[in-house]
Amino acid sequence: MPAMVEEVRAAAEAGAAGPHFLVVTYPAQGHINPARHLARRLLRATGARVTISTAASAFRKMFPGDEEGAAAGECHRDAAGVWYVPYSDGYDAGFDRAVHDHTHYMSQVRVVGSRTLGAVLERLRAAGRPVTLVVYTLLLSWVADVARGHGVPAALYWIQPATVLAAYLHFFRGTDGVDRAIAAAGGDPMATVRVPGLPPLRIRDLPSFIANTSEDDPYAFVANMFRELVDMLGREGSPSVLTNTFDAMEPEAVASLREHGVDIVPVGPVLSFLDEAPGGRVRVRREERRQRPVQAGRHGLPRVAGRAGARLGGVHLVREPVDDEQAADRGGGARHGGERAAVPVGAAGGQPQQRGRR
């Protein structure tokens, strides 16, 4: 990702305060938690300033005693050292499924969110803490346009398995006719389809947003959001994709995505117990400090020698090679064809959710 790296370096060098990651997330628990884990990993690995931005309704639930701060758009800092700042999605009082419409919410968050997130970027710049890289989670493709409009590079953080992204990519692009094959299966959960670069999969193993092609599906709008994401990955200057995986866990999916033009950067495993000690403090294992020499990285930030990685946000994101035994220890083992690879999308309080959906 040479072009993106140069943009990020220029942005970082322009800010005297050094690199600053802004992680923007959809206001649902299943999105916020992975974003927090990534933020703490970035903080621990780079020492850069890391800020999470989510909708004001979720911010109030996370920090219930900071109502005035949420209304004023002020920052909150947690015990690990990660900062938080809200944006408005137009539903500051929260989303009520009994009253509100999901489709209207998604259109509203694009309009209102674009304006208020842009204001967040401007406030941080004015305060001497300019953002050098915006990272955003699923369903928020419009964030990349906001970042670009403010001269800041952007990257997508894919919080589901890389295999799921590969399935979406090939379905919406119609690679080798996989979209027609899924439609021809007629919803038979045991029918087998071939997704390019992946082992044979049954319909039941695929994300339900593409396996169910009915126009009456109340969650059809989510499939449209994933289609938009795939379309963006096909454009010139498309964002890099950070994934919570590593090459040894999903080699076929990672290779397939790269072969089809996706700039995928495995940064996993990003798990809370690897980056957080009891009480919310970030920890560094003693054996890691003792065995791995630390070198001075760009902008004076630490870079651990002997690891593969990628440069984002003006710093070096380290990635430790993980073998099969470590994979089993850290994540319960890699999952192969025939088992469900997708993860459900959760929710916080009254936020939009898709229970049992993948």
3-state secondary structure the chain: CHHHHHHHHHHHHHCCCCCEEEEECCCCHHHHHHHHHHHHHHHHHHCCEEEEEEEHHHHHHHCCCCHHHHHHCCCEECCCCCEEEEECCCCCCCCCCCCCCHHHHHHHHHHHHHHHHHHHHHHHHHCCCCCCEEEECCCCCHHHHHHHHCCCCEEEEECCCHHHHHHHHHHHHCHHHHHHHHHHCCCCCCCEECCCCCCCEEHHHCCHHHHCCCCCCCCHHHHHHHHHHHHHHCCCCCCEEEECCCCCCCHHHHHHHHHCCCCEEECCCCCHHHHCCCCCCCCCCHHHHHHCCEEECHHHCEEECCCEEEEECCEEEEECCCCHHHHHHHHCCCCCCCCCCCCCECCCCCCCCECCCC
Is 31 designated active site? yes
Structure tokens, 225 = 């959001």
Give the active site residue among 20, 31, 299, 316.
31
Residues recognised as catalytic: 31
